[in-house]
């Protein structure tokens, strides 16, 4: 992320954890196809089987994939960019 003037803007979003849950054989196959593609682009995944999912969330799922991804909040980004521009002396 760096430590330049935009660092606080980039840090504002931060990673959030997502869970893709498979409830059918087709969805399990989709997760098996998807997880290596996420990992190929640098997004590590955790795989869960049906029993692990039942213990984790109490839901009768067949499998799941968990991953973290950085999200951007558009409003925060716009407000942060505005503050940065004003601090830099930019006038509109």
Closest CA to 47 of 19, 79, 24, 68: 19
Please give the DSSP secondary-structure letter assigned to residue 77. Answer: H
Q: DSSP secondary structure string, 28-75?
A: HHHHHHHHHHHHHTT--EEEEEHHHHHHHHS---SEEEEEEEE---HH
Higher-scoring residue by pLDDT: 52, 9: 52
Domain boundaries, the chain: 15-71
Please write the tens of the pLDDT for every residue from 43-67: 999 999 999 988 888 878 999 999 9
Q: Is 6 helix (H, G, I), strand (E, B) or coil?
A: coil
What's the pLDDT score for residue 14? 64
Query: Is 45 within 8 Å of 38 (Cβ atoms)?
Result: yes
User: Bridge-partner residues for 46, per DSSP?
Assistant: 66
Residue 2 has pLDDT above 50, yes or no: no
Quote the pLDDT of residue 57. Answer: 80
User: How is domain 15-71 classified at the CATH fold level?
Assistant: D-Amino Acid Oxidase; Chain A, domain 2 (3.30.9)
Q: What's the pLDDT tens digit per position in 20-49?
A: 999 999 999 999 999 999 999 999 999 999
Confidence of residue 18 (pLDDT cuts 50, 70, 90): confident
């Amino acid at each position: 992320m760096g430590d330049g003037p935009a660092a606080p803007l980039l840090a504002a979003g931060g990673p959030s954890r997502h869970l893709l849950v498979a409830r059918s054989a087709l969805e399990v196959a989709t997760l098996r196809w998807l997880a290596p593609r996420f990992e190929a682009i640098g997004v590590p995944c955790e795989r869960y089987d049906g029993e692990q999912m039942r213990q984790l969330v109490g839901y009768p799922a067949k499998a799941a994939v968990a991953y973290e991804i950085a999200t951007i909040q558009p409003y925060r980004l716009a407000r942060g960019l505005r503050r940065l521009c004003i601090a830099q002396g930019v006038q509109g």
